[in-house]
Amino acid sequence: MVQITSEKIDVQAAVESVTTPESGGIDLFIGTTRNHSKNRAVAWLEYEAYESMALKMMERLEEEARSRWPISKAVLIHRIGRVDIGEASVVIAVSSAHRKEAFEACRFLIDKLKQVVPIWKREFFADGTVEWSRQYHAEEGTTETL
């Protein structure tokens, strides 16, 4: 399952959605808003996405993970809009019969999501400045710090 939401992410619901009787391992990645970046205090983050393309790319990533590892279920959820300090901006949950495959698939999914999915992050600093901190380049498939 893939999802982009403007609501707070329910981490427990994500875990429950990948829990199956045959799964001996569930790996979970939660990306949260931290209170600092580049040696500066962060007030909050804001995410934007090209939603239709982002969802398609997230679905492709899930399909690729399924082709590489014997996973039972996978969930990729990314938040858009304002995300306050300590709140989850992205959650990846993967279940598999064994922990190794769950770990590897989860790591692949978060790393590739950050590389190729068109989601942009803007940092709002405590001093009132605002910066785009990550920009996706569709034609190159790379990211860059601005």
The number of folded domains in the chain is: 1
pLDDT digits (tens, 9 = 90+) for 19-41: 999 999 999 999 999 999 989 99
CATH number at residue 126: 3.90.1170.40
Amino acid making up residue 125: F
pLDDT digits (tens, 9 = 90+) for 86-104: 999 999 999 999 999 999 9
Which residue is listed with tokens 């492709």? Answer: 60
Please determine, for residue 77, whether its predicted confidence score (pLDDT) is greater than 70: yes
Mean pLDDT along residues 116-120:
96
Q: What SS3 class is residue 143? A: strand
- Per-residue pLDDT at 146: 36
Q: What SS3 class is residue 70? A: coil
C-alpha closest to that of 65 among 25, 26, 105, 114: 105
